Amino acid sequence: MAAVTVATLGVDLAAEPVGTAVVRLDWDDAQPRATVLPRRMSDAQLVEAIAGIGIAKVGIDCPFGWPAGFVDAVSAHAAGRTWPGGEGPAARRILRLRLTDREVAARFKEPLSVSSTYIGATAMRCASILNAWRSRDPKHDRVGTGRLIEVYPALAMRHWHLDMPGYKNGDNWAKARKDILNAVGHTVDVEEVREAVLQSKTYGDDVIDALVAALVAASAMTPGGVEPPPASDTDERRIAEIEGWIAVPSLPLHEVDPRPASP
């Protein structure tokens, strides 16, 4: 493998700069290395980080859009038309969950609803960042074919056997995080993020999620590394382009490597 400088970024986005964590992975030597970027980044600073030198792919832990049915229902309600959502849990599920959320729920667990939980506030910030990025990259889309991809760290952690119970705020959070870092350490040098992960109970889990997001971004650059979005020219693809699409890893962690192979 040639020593080629490729960098991926992981963003654990919060509704405000406080609680937002960003991790950069540099894949430029025998063992890639992870570093934590400064805390409390503003929207403008995040856009600059995304545009950083060497950054090839960015995983953002936040929905890229809202359920199409929810958008239609709210628009109808605002215009004084009949609410189209119907009655009962099944009807409301279409308003709560995007197509990609329903796909993930069938295999893992139901992600937070962007239309009916607190994650909606974070998605508003994400939408602003995506709009700012689009001014730099008009080809940006919400299905992950450009620089930005939507990620779901909990799903990726289960796939890579990193889902240590209690790493966020359990009684044994420090041990759980050490176990995660030790497991990731077989693929990436994590020593520069270790202090941030273990020193703060309330911020360290955000750094873990950002690290995993950066790994998913790297997986998306590895041939066969993530499951593809719906095929072009399908109804599912058109919906995903509106709602966003979660990148789901499909390779073992030790096979993730976004660097081009030696000629």
Structural contact between residues 100 and 244, judged by C-beta atoms closer than 8 angstroms: yes
Confidence bin at 1 (pLDDT 50/70/90): very low
pLDDT > 80? residue 22: yes
Confidence bin at 170 (pLDDT 50/70/90): confident
Name the percent of the chain lying above pLDDT 90.
Answer: 87
Q: 256 Cβ partners below 8 Å, 6+ apart? A: 187, 215, 218, 219, 222, 225, 249
Position 31 scores a pLDDT of: 85
153 CA to centre of own chain:
6
**Pseudo-torsion of CA 199, 161, 11, 21, nearest 10°?**
-10
From edge to edge, which strands make up the β-sheet containing 21-26?
A: 33-36, 21-26, 7-12, 55-60, 148-150
Q: How far apart are the first and last CA of the chain?
A: 9
